């Protein structure tokens, strides 16, 4: 999932950009932003980079097999057409 450090960093950056009058609530705002980000991201259907890479590899192998089968099929069709 998402690295907690990334969420913390994002929450800190957003909280630090609040107007000067709200700086006293920066800690609470940061905590609430992190909770909101975590909740929002948890509802998304996300995969890890590792899962994505595995599926990309599976897809590549599948495409290669499909291309091989298509070539074999074409060869068989040509042989049948010659008979």
Kindly state whether residues 39 and 56 are assigned to the same domain. Answer: no
Q: 């499909």: which residue's tokens?
A: 66
Kindly state whether residues 34 and 51 are assigned to the same domain. Answer: no
In this predicted structure, the answer to whether residue 23 has a pLDDT above a threshold of 70 is no
In this prediction the pTM is 0.51
Kindly state whether residues 37 and 70 are assigned to the same domain. Answer: no
Kindly state whether residues 35 and 52 are assigned to the same domain. Answer: no
Kindly state whether residues 38 and 17 are assigned to the same domain. Answer: yes
Kindly state whether residues 31 and 68 are assigned to the same domain. Answer: no
Kindly state whether residues 71 and 33 are assigned to the same domain. Answer: no
Domain count, the chain: 2
Kindly state whether residues 72 and 35 are assigned to the same domain. Answer: no
Report pLDDT digits (tens) over 33-81: 888 888 887 788 888 889 999 999 999 999 999 999 999 999 999 999 9
């Amino acid at each position: 999932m998402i690295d907690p450090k990334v969420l913390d960093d994002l929450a800190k950056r957003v909280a630090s950009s609040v107007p000067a009058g709200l700086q006293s609530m920066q800690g609470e705002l940061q905590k609430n932003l992190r909770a909101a980000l975590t909740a929002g991201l948890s509802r998304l259907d996300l995969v890890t980079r590792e899962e994505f890479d595995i599926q990309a590899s599976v897809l590549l192998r599948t495409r290669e097999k499909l291309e091989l089968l298509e070539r074999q099929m074409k060869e068989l069709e040509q042989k049948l057409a010659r008979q």
